[in-house]
Amino acid sequence: MHLHQSGEDYLETILILRREKGVVRSIDVAQHMGFSKPSVSRAMSILRADGYIEMERSGGIRLTEEGERVARTMYERHDLLTRWLIGLGVSPETAAGDACRMEHALSEETFSCIKRYIGDGE
């Protein structure tokens, strides 16, 4: 199943918040992303139905194996592209915003070539 950009953003946010807080709840995602609680609840329902997250009885959100894979991929792309753009002289705020849009649009081949070109793996 193909995940939309917004779904990828939610999974990446859950990963980031888990690293910061340990336990992630819908309200944390809503506050971090600046979305309403009902919007986030709907997105969490879709991600759960598609097998990317599991909701714990306590209200915590846990990434499934596939959710973790997608979240880590998006985080790696966002981080590398942000650092690369800053290195080119782009302001950190603009770099982060541009990286967020680019991370979803690049093919795996193009991302791998950028990664190799800037000497960040592979």
Total number of domains constituting the chain: 2
Burial 92-106 (b: 16+ CB within 10 A, else e): eeebbeebbebbeee
Ramachandran angles phi, psi of 69, nearest 5°: -60, -50
Question: What 3 state SS string does the chain have?
Answer: CCCCHHHHHHHHHHHHHHHHHCCCCHHHHHHHHCCCHHHHHHHHHHHHHCCCEEECCCCCEEECHHHHHHHHHHHHHHHHHHHHHHHCCCCHHHHHHHHHHHHHHCCHHHHHHHHHHCCCCC
Question: Does residue 90 form part of some domain?
Answer: yes
Query: Is the domain of 74 the same as that of 108?
Result: yes
Query: Is the domain of 45 the same as that of 79?
Result: no
In the chain, which residues have pLDDT < 50? 122
* 54, β-bridge pairs: 62
In this prediction, residue 101 carries a pLDDT of 92
In this prediction, residue 47 carries a pLDDT of 97
Last residue of a domain, one of 65, 80, 96: 65
